[in-house]
Structure formats: C-alpha cells, structure tokens
A and B are shown apart, each in its own frame.
Chain A
Amino acid sequence: MFKYILRRLIQAIPTFFGITILAYLIMDAAPGSPARLLTFGARTTPQQVRAVEAQLGLNDPIHVQYLRWLLGDDWMRWDSNGDGIADHAVIIPLDADGDGVPEKPGDRLGIIRGDFGRSFSLRQPALRLIGQYVGATIELSLTALLLGLVTGVPIGILAAVRKGGYFDNFTRIMAVVFNAIPIFWLGLILILIFGVWLKQPDGTPLLPMGGRCDPMSVGGCPPLPQRLEYILLPALVLATGGIAVFSRYMRASMLDVINQDFIRTARSKGLANRTVWFKHAARNALIPIATILGPSVTGLLSGAVITETIFSWPGMGRFAFTAVQQQDYPVVMAVVIISAVTTIIGFILSDILYAIVDPRIRFN
C-alpha cells in the first residue's frame, strides 16, 4: 500500500512540472508587464522602467525566468559575508541593470517552497491571500459533494431496482436536464424564487441572496449548522452536476451487481427484496463510486468559480475570478497550481480509496 501510494506520487511529479510549465507559459504570454504595473503612476523614465525590469530579471532568457519562478532566486544571487550586498551569483548576473553596483541578494523562494509572489493589487503574498479564502471553498465544495452523494446514490439505487419503470425513466431524463442546465442561470432563478418572490412574513427574503456569514460578527463565523440558510442555495447549485453523475453511475453499478450470483443466492435464501437491495447489492454497488470522487474534484472547482461569483461566496473561486479580471498574475498562477495539485491528489486519493474498499484490487 505504501509502495503504491509512493509510486502514484512519483508518477504525478512530471505532471506537476508540466502544469508549472503550462502556467508559466500562460503568464508569460499574457498582456502587460509586471514592471509597468509596479512603476505605474510614478514619474518614471523609460530608463528607470528598464532598470526595474532588469532588477526583476525580466530580461533574462525565459528558462531562467521560469527557474526563478519555480525554485526561487535566493540561491542564484546571494550574500556570503552578511553586508547586505550580493557577492556571488550563478546563472544570473551579479549586476543585472549594468550600473556597476551589484543587485540585492535574491529573496524569492519559488513556488516549490510556497512563494507565489505578491499579489499586484493587494500587495500581499498570494498564498496567504488564498489561504484566507480556501476555507469557504472547502466548506461549499464538501457540502455540495455530500449533497450530491446523499441525493444521487439513493436515486441510482431506486432507479436500478425498478429498471424501466416510471421512476427510472423520470430520473434518467432529470439527469440529462441537470447536465444541460447552465448552473449560473439556475443560481439566478433560485435567487429570483427564494430571494425576490418568496418572502418571510416580515418582508425579508426567504433565503439570503448571497454572502456566507456576517464578517462583522464577534468571534468570526458561527459553525455551519447555524448558518445553513446561506449555504443552501449555492450548495444546491454546485451539486446539480454531481447529483446527475452519481445517480447515473450508481444505477449502472447497481445493475451490474444485481445480476451477480451472490444476489441470486441471497434471494433464494428467501430474503426480502429490501434486504437484498440495500444490504447486499447497494453496498457492493457503492464501490465503483470511489473512482468518480477524484474526477468530481475538477467539476467542483470549476463550478465553484461560477457559484461563488453569483452568490458572493467569499471563496477561492470568486477570488480567482477577480484576480483574472484584474490581471493579478501571481494570484491567478497560485490558484491554477493549487487547483491542479488538488485535482491530482483527488485522483490519487480516489484510486487509493477504491483499492481499500475493493479487496479484489491489488496495490501493484
């Protein structure tokens, strides 16, 4: 098992570097120069902009820039005698802007050590900013995942045991409907119904139209059960895709199991239908569900961008969307890398989970 996990992690390493290259290329091709942004508004001459560009290393060849972004530059140009002036350099020149004075020692740690640079707009480390938002996204995604599972799985079971019946046909159509519905529009319609049309007796909307919890409240946000009304609509919207996928998958898996010998045996023992379905069949049919938990991470992260934006949910998706609009590259790149790593880990975890719940799968 340990070996299996280790091998999967090693296999993921090239993918990780591929993602960093992709992210870097996107950032490099993107319009606008960081030097221009940093010197914007100040009375700067073109020479000064060029000097800043040189100091930031923007004139280095692209692979050097990528290396700096990935691994940092504290090992590329450093100060060995502690006088604050760099005296050694590898790969990059000691005096980048050519004014005869060595540059300051490198202080970037590189994304591999968690340094994604500072947000252009908020002037804070990108990773720390994302850290402030990631909790809300995890809260929303897990709620949606759970909602998808507890709705989709029973629907799949019932559709399978009554195969070809009204419920089966109805849920089959609903699964296509749920896939075809644009989730941003579903969000708007739910806001319209529960926030505009339906009112509480005192005239306030039945459910809040957005937000997560009052940030001004003393002691931060109360635990989730006390503010369910905020998460209900966004989680429902985010869960639609999951409900469709899980119910279809569960149905197919259940149909596979129902035709196996041990089910016939259970039936011939004289067990009640309900016992056979839920105790014998459903438990085995759940096993393949483990394999789609990983892929559903991507769906949840994609959906979070839209859902969080519509419902003003202060999560990573909405933050990333704002960063994209403001061309705040350090934040955008940090989100890309983090979500890609989350996806990779999600896939590995779901494979491990599959191997654990199904003893027929061997770790080799």
Chain B
Amino acid sequence: MSTHTTNPNIVTLQGGEEFIVGESLTSKALRRLRKDRLSLIAIGYFVVISILCFSAPLFEQALGVSFSKTNVTQAFLPVCIPVLGIGTDYVRPDSLRGGNTEEIPVGCNPKHILGTDDLGRDHLVRLLYGGQVSLRIAFLAAAISLVIGVTLGMITGYFGGVIDDAVNFVITVLSSVPNLFLLLIISAFVLQNEELLAIFPSDILLVLVLGILGWTGTTRLVRGETLSIREREYIVGARAMGAQPLRIMFIHILPNLLSIVVITLAADIGGLILAEAALSFLGLGVRVPLPSWGNMLSQAQTFFTYGVHLVIIPGVLIFTTVLCLYILGDGIRDAFDPTARD
C-alpha cells in the first residue's frame, strides 16, 4: 500500500527512525516483513519446495522415471550425482543382487538422482509426489479448521452465554485428551474403515480428521479477540443502526480478525505437516501406494543398512519445510506486533 520512498507522510523522528503517518497495521507489517531476512529466506525455501513438488510430473518425464512403477532389479540404488562424484564408488552388496548377478546393474544410475526405494521406484519423484500429498493435506486441513475455528470463535465471542459455555466445555474436554492420542484413535477408526475408504481416498479422509479436530486453538483465539472487538464504538454504532448479528459478525468483526488469524496460520500448517507425517509414519495416515513424506519414512525404517538415503531425505524435507513455516510464523507475529518499533 505504501510506497514509503516517495510518501509525503513520512516523518523522521529524532535518531533517524522513520514513522509513517496513518499507516495501517497490515502495511506496516508487510514493510517490516520485507526487511526481515530470515523470514524472506523461509518464504523463498517454502515456495521453491512447493513449486518443485507440484511440478513432479515434469521431473518424471524429464528423467524418464516413474514414481509408481516397481522394478526390483533397480531396488536400493544409492544417491547418484556423477558430476559431483557422489554415489559412483557404491558397490551393491551381494545380498541384494538376487540370483542372476550378471544382468543386474550395480550401483549408481544417473537417471535416479536420489536413488531408488525398496521396490526400485525413483526416490526423487516419489519425494516430490509425497510432498504434494503432505502439503495438500496440511493446507486443506488448515483451511477446514480455520473456517470452523473462526466461525465458532466469532459466534461464541459475540453471543456469549450458553453457546459460549457449551463450546468452551467441548474445547476443555478435547484438549484434556493428549492431542496425538485423539488423532490416532479417530484416524484409526476412520482410515481402517473399508467402507469409508471405498468412497474417499485416504488423503481426503485424513484432511477431514485433521481439520475437524484442529479448530480448538483458533476458536479460543478468535473468541478472545471478538470479545474485545464487540465492545468497540463502531460495533455499538452498527448495532444502534439496526444491523443484524450476522452482518455485524461478517462485515464488521471478521475483517478485524484477519491479522490475528494470519499470525497463527503458518505455524498451524507446520504443525499439521508434522501431524500428518506422524500419523502416516505410524501407518494410520496416507495409505500406500500413495506416497507422503510420513509413510515413506515408515517404510524406510526397516532399511537402515541398505537405504540410508530413504531414512534421511524424507525427514530432512519434513523438518526443513516445517522449520520454514515456524520461522515464517514467528516473523509474521513480530511484524504484526503493534508494540514493536522499526
């Protein structure tokens, strides 16, 4: 909004600090965020990972490999980047060669940059497809819990009374059961239910489970904010003019909730990626053959000796992606902090 280099409203305070008259919190936050190098790196990394994941089919075509076609003779190939000399000295253990040793290629195959898994599928494109699945689940689940959380939070904060007590009671009950535990049980019942699985694929079911159980934090936050917004003069004014509660909530309150919701969103998505990975790792999330970063690790844990890359790389991807989202979340929170100074 503000192009502050030519903005006539800039006041330079003593000590060289610039202050823009009438600047909104959002544009101030964006300006601060543009200066926050760590957050910018985090955004950059996250965008790059997302683009790579969603262009998985291109990689598949370009490298001439497949994420789903199995080929046991090509199993457990190592990470192979001949230009850097990585993987070229790998000698395949005899135990993996099977009977006819002559016909089976041994070691590095430049087509499989990050090697292959236990069934000879290309690890790189599987990681990219897995990332697609993991990111999609986290974003959709975050969207669902955001809608539920904001709606319930606004309703309870605005109306108070019995609805407020009831929702608070449900939140207290839900948060008394250890989070992962509840997720584990519900997703076990949902994702082991063959009738449901016949209708919906496992990733959609997981989105629903994560989304429907994840709203409590947002609700609490939005409720508190709504409680304070409700008492402001412009709301009283709107009410005096005869505005209906729905109109007040969606036209007058909702836009003011935006910043507080955005602040938690990045960290929420990071948490959801972790939750999806944990559930899939435990075998109660995304079902094979559909890859996700979590279920790739789940299979890999039995291959410590043959396929170390199968254990390390998916974890690094989960970890770095979540790390970026958390750093971004911190950055956004600092940028929106009204007490902070530039």
**Contact yes or no, A180 B326, CB < 8 A:** yes
Interface-central residue, B178, B185, B283, B301, by most chain A CB under 10 Å:
B178
- List, in ascending order, chain A residues with CB within 8 A of B175's CB: 298
Closest-CB distance, A212 to chain B (whole angstroms):
19
Complex contact B315–A188 (CB within 8 A): yes
Please, which residues of chain B bring their CB within 8 A of the CB of A302? 178-181
Query: How far is it, in angstroms, between the C-alpha of A303 and the C-alpha of B282 when the chains are bound?
Result: 12
Interface 1/0s, chain B 293-332, versus A by CB < 8 A? 0000100110011001001101100110011011100100
Q: With A and B bound together, what is the CA distance between A31 and B193 in angstroms?
A: 6
B65 within 8 A of A: no
Known: A15-B172, A176-B323, A182-B278. A188 touches B178 (CB 8 A): no
Chain A contacts for B177, CB-based, 8 A: 19, 22, 336, 339-340, 343
* A335 CB–B CB distance under 8 Å: yes
Provide the bound-state CA to CA distance between A31 and B176, in Å: 24
Query: Which of chain A's residues have a CB closer than 8 A to the CB of B169?
Result: 14-15, 18
B326 touches A179 (CB 8 A): yes
Give every chain A residue within 8 A of B315 (Cβ-Cβ).
182, 185, 188-189
A224 CB-CB contact with B under 8 Å: no
Contacting residues, chain B, for A335 (C-beta < 8 A): 181
Residues of B contacting A180 in the complex (Cβ-Cβ under 8 angstroms): 270, 274, 319, 322-323, 325-326
Q: Which residues of A contact B326 (CB under 8 A)?
A: 176, 179-180
Inter-subunit contact B178/A26 (CB<8 Å)? no
In the complex, whether B256 has a CB less than 8 A from a CB of chain A is: no
- Partner among B173, B195, B325 whose Cβ is within 8 Å of the Cβ of A15: B173
Consensus secondary structure, chain B interface: helix
Residue A151 CB within 8 A of the other chain: no
Contact with B along A166-182 (1 / 0, CB 8 A): 00000000001101111
Q: Is B281 an interface residue (CB 8 A)?
A: yes
The answer, yes or no, to whether A320 is at the interface (CB within 8 Å) is yes
Neighbouring A residues of B322 by C-beta, 8 Å: 180, 182
How far apart are the CA atoms of A222 and B327 in the complex, in Å?
A: 44
Taken together as a complex, chains A and B put the C-alpha atoms of A160 and B295 apart, in Å, by 40
Q: Is A112 among interface residues, defined by CB-CB distance under 8 A? A: no
Least CB separation from B283: chain A residue? A325
Q: How far is the CA of A177 from the CA of B270 in the complex (A)?
A: 12
Roughly how many angstroms separate A185 CA and B261 CA in the complex, as a whole number?
Answer: 30
Q: Determine whether the beta carbon of A301 is less than 8 Å from that of B181.
A: yes
Residues of B within 8 Å of A183, CB to CB, are 278
Q: Return the CB mask of A17-37 against B: 1 if under 8 Å, else 0.
A: 011011000100111000000
Q: Which residue from chain B places its CB closest to the CB of A299 in the assembled complex?
A: B178
A residues within 8 A CB of B318?
A: 182, 185
Partner of A176, one of B185, B311, B327: B327
Q: With an 8 A cutoff between CB atoms, is B189 at the interface?
A: yes
> B101 at the A/B interface (Cβ < 8 Å)?
no
Residues facing B in A305-341 (CB within 8 A) are 305-306, 309-310, 320-321, 324-325, 327, 332, 335-336, 339-340
CB distance from B38 to the nearest CB of A (A): 9
**Interface flag for A344 (CB, 8 Å):** yes
Tell me the residues in window 176-205 of chain A with beta carbons closer than 8 Å to chain B beta carbons: 176-177, 179-185, 188-189, 191-192, 195-196
A343 to B, closest residue via Cβ = B176
Say whether, besides A14-B169, A196-B305, A339 and B278 are in contact (CB < 8 Å): no
| A22 and B301 within 8 A (CB) | no
B188 at the interface (CB under 8 A from A): yes
Q: Which residue of A lies closest to B325 (CB)?
A: A180
Output the least CB separation between B187 and chain A (Å).
9
B284 on interface, CB distance cutoff 8 Å: yes
Which one of B181, B297, B314, B325 lies within 8 Å of A305 (CB-CB)?
B181
Nearest A residue to B176, CB-CB: A340
Contact A185 B178 (CB under 8 A): no
Q: For A298, what are the chain B residues with a Cβ–Cβ distance below 8 Å? A: 175, 178-179
- A176-B330, A298-B178, A309-B282 known; A26-B323 Cβ under 8 A: no
The answer to whether B192 touches A327, judged by C-beta atoms less than 8 angstroms apart, is yes
Q: In whole angstroms, how far apart are the Cα atoms of A291 and B284 in the complex?
A: 33
Q: Are A184 and B278 in contact (CB under 8 A)?
A: yes
Question: Which residue of chain A lies nearest to B300 when distances are taken between CB atoms in the complex?
Answer: A188
- Chain A residue at minimal CB-CB distance from B315: A185
Distance in angstroms between the alpha carbons of A339 and B327 in the assembled complex: 32
- For the complex formed, measure the closest distance between the CB of A36 and the CB atoms of chain B, giving whole angstroms: 14
Nearest 10 interchain pairs by C-beta: A185-B315, A302-B180, A18-B173, A180-B323, A301-B178, A180-B322, A302-B178, A30-B189, A324-B188, A340-B176
Given contacts A15-B173, A189-B312, A324-B184, list 8 more A-B pairs with CB under 8 A: A19-B176, A30-B189, A185-B314, A185-B319, A188-B301, A189-B315, A306-B278, A325-B284
Can you list 22 A-B contacts with CB-CB less than 8 angstroms, sorted by A residue number?
A: A15-B172, A18-B169, A22-B174, A30-B189, A31-B189, A176-B330, A180-B323, A182-B277, A182-B278, A182-B281, A184-B297, A188-B315, A189-B312, A191-B304, A196-B304, A196-B305, A306-B281, A306-B282, A321-B184, A336-B181, A340-B178, A343-B176
